[in-house]
Amino acid sequence: MLTPQKYYHIYNRANGFENLFVNEGNYNFFLEKVKHHLSPILNIYAYCLMPNHFHLLVEIKSKEEIISVIESQISNYKESRTYLKFQTLDKFVSYFISKQFSNLFSSYTQAFNKQQKRTGSLFQKGFKRKEIGDENYLKDLVLYIHCNPVHHNFTDNFKTWKHTSYQSILEGKNTDIINWFDDINNFIACHQDKNEFNKIENLLLEQ
């Protein structure tokens, strides 16, 4: 269950030894699908896409904001069959959040399967989610996500991996992240500091 106004580390990978992304267009298309399905219900603070898996650091929006999205999509939602199954509004909001993730994975899989002439599920069933309640952990997680391609030997320099939020944050597209690190200089220094890499050792081992 994903709870409004909580931070989460969200991650998932392809089934078996398959890849989620096989060309540049796949990466861009997935981000477009993320924006379409997830942006209405959450804020994305950091991300990294790699050939066979991805990581997101997100904050679920408030219940009121999500209800507003529901109302824009479902007229008279309180009279709908789906709503009536859940008995309480909180449970329905949780269902709607999960459904948005399900729609993301389903729509991407359908397009990918058509392009690659394959069939069947693409993502492992049940995406992983870990609630983050500590500000220091949030900062460590940003470093972990951006450095993940190095950890998995996709590159030897995280700055050269195009499919992360690192460069967009440097360009000022997410000032909240910079504020977590006090300023942009410290944000850059923490990514380059070997001592900071050591701090996220446990995060690496968890994956």
Q: Spell 126-159 as b/e; 16+ CB within 10 A means b.
A: ebebeebeeeebbbbbbbbbbbbbbeeebeeebe
Residue 204 reports pLDDT greater than 60: no
Contact 166, 172 (CB under 8 A): no
Structure tokens at 66: 């999500």
Instruction: Please give the average per-residue pLDDT across 81-102, as a whole number.
Output: 91
Q: What is the pLDDT of residue 198?
A: 62
Runs of H (alpha helix) within the chain: 24-38, 63-73, 81-86, 89-116, 135-151, 166-170, 175-180, 184-192, 194-199, 201-206
Structure tokens at 130: 């870990």
Taking only the tens place, the pLDDT of each residue in 22-75 is 999 999 999 999 999 999 999 999 999 999 999 999 999 999 999 999 999 888
Q: What is the pLDDT of residue 84?
A: 87
Cα dist from 33 to 48, 120, 134, 188, whole Å: 15, 19, 29, 29
Taking only the tens place, the pLDDT of each residue in 149-191 is 988 899 989 999 999 999 999 998 888 999 999 999 999 999 8
Q: What is the pLDDT of residue 196?
A: 65
Residue count of the chain: 207
Residue 14 DSSP label: B
Torsion of CA 136, 142, 144, 150, to 10 degrees: -150
Sign of the CA dihedral running 97, 98, 99, 104:
positive
Taking only the tens place, the pLDDT of each residue in 106-128 is 999 999 999 999 999 999 988 99
> What is d(CA 188, CA 183) in angstroms, rounded to the nearest whole number?
9
Q: What domains are defined for the chain?
A: 1-133 (3.30.70.1290), 134-207 (no CATH)
Taking only the tens place, the pLDDT of each residue in 7-24 is 999 999 999 999 999 999
pLDDT tier for residue 83 given thresholds of 50, 70 and 90? confident
- In this prediction the pTM is 0.92
